[in-house]
Amino acid sequence: MRWITSPPIISVPLVALLLALGSGPTEGLPLPLWGLFLVAYGAATAFHSMNLSTRRGGLAFFTNLTAQGLVLAFVSPAVGVTPIVSWLGLALASSGMVGLVSLGISKGPSGQRQPISPEQISISDIQQELKSLETELDIPSMIPLPALWGQGGVILKANREAKLLLGTNDLEGKELDKMINPSLHELELGGTGWLVFRRSLEGEDLVLLSPKGEGSGGDDSDFVDPKTGLYSDRYARRRGEEEIERARRYRRWLSMALLKLELESLSQGPIPRSFQEEAYNRLIATVKKTIRTSDLAFHLKDDCVLLLLPETPSSGARTLFDRIKAQLNKLFEEGEAAPYRPRLMGGFSFYGGNGTTSYGQMLEEAYSNMALNED
């Protein structure tokens, strides 16, 4: 009577139930997907029958779970059942396949765990296995910090982060000590301080670079502009490159907006310094009030305000600029009459996460199109 639990016997009432529940819009699946479904379902059914004949109940259960999950995942959208059921089927099928893999790994051909005696394992076997595992996993590429892997003083592997930091793609084959001085525990690269961690074992070397914490040296003025409370010009380049690299790694949007406030005199003579500072302070206050917590604002040396806007399309950057401009104009209209007229200009650049760019390129683009956005 074990045939009663075979996948087709259970699938028939399951399909009937799905037909009864289907009341929404249906989605036709391409023929190749239906072919894939039939092949996978047939394989699960055949494997289930084989497991019953050998009395492997655990494997039979997981093959049945996989088969019914496939039915839910493929039939549900075709008969108009809510997408939740399809996702549930996908989860069941995945669970069944994970169970099959787990049982297949943990059991030998006879269905029993194969005991391993200590005499069968040697240190050399373990070392050889670890070396093959290192080759398969490509460990340096999995490290999110700049990393170099060498042997006999020669670089064997270098991850992308190390190549970007050192400015070359041809690190493999070069002498490790010439690239990273072994006597240094700290170094300066790309305008950023780095801590050097080196580990040597049996002729192999691993060098890892970690950025120094913001509190490890210098004062707050390196990162925060004391005049405005925004991030400093010096910090803008470092943080800009970090945000660009993050956008590239995760294929996310990154927008840049550059704000410049100019004052047009309404009377003869230059505008007093006190009026210029008052107008600029109003701009800074408006920026702080308007941007999101995830946005970054920097005070540049030429008194422009730079905004880095993660997860923001180019249209979003222009919308933010328009909002800041409207708020600023409202402040001036409600304030006391001043002998000048403010004019806010904006420059924009955008990186979609594909290809390569740099902070300098994006900033240059923002400056170059600033004149195009004048009133």
* pLDDT at 318 exceeding the cut of 90: yes
Say if residues 154 and 175 touch (Cβ distance below 8 Å).
yes
pLDDT of 212: 72
* CATH homologous superfamily, domain 132-211: PAS domain (3.30.450.20)
pLDDT of 276: 83
Pick from 35-44, 45-54, 196-205, 226-235: least confident: 45-54
More confident residue, 323 or 88: 323
* pLDDT at 266 exceeding the cut of 80: no
* CA proximity to 321, closest of 361, 349, 340, 302: 349
**Fold adopted by 220-373:** Alpha-Beta Plaits (3.30.70)
> Where do the DSSP E strands lie in the chain?
147-151, 154-158, 186-189, 192-201, 204-211, 254-265, 296-299, 305-310, 340-351
Q: What is the mean pLDDT of residues 142-152?
A: 78
Cα-trace Rg, the chain: 32
Q: For the chain, what percent of residues have pLDDT higher than 90?
A: 21
pLDDT band (50, 70, 90) for residue 28? low
More confident residue, 90 or 375: 90
- Angle among Cα 5, 7, 11 to the nearest 5 degrees reads 110
pLDDT band (50, 70, 90) for residue 256? very high
* pLDDT at 42 exceeding the cut of 60: yes
Q: Where are the domains of the chain?
A: 2-106, 132-211, 220-373
The average confidence (pLDDT) of the chain is: 78
Distance between CA 337 and CA 137 in Å, rounded?
A: 68
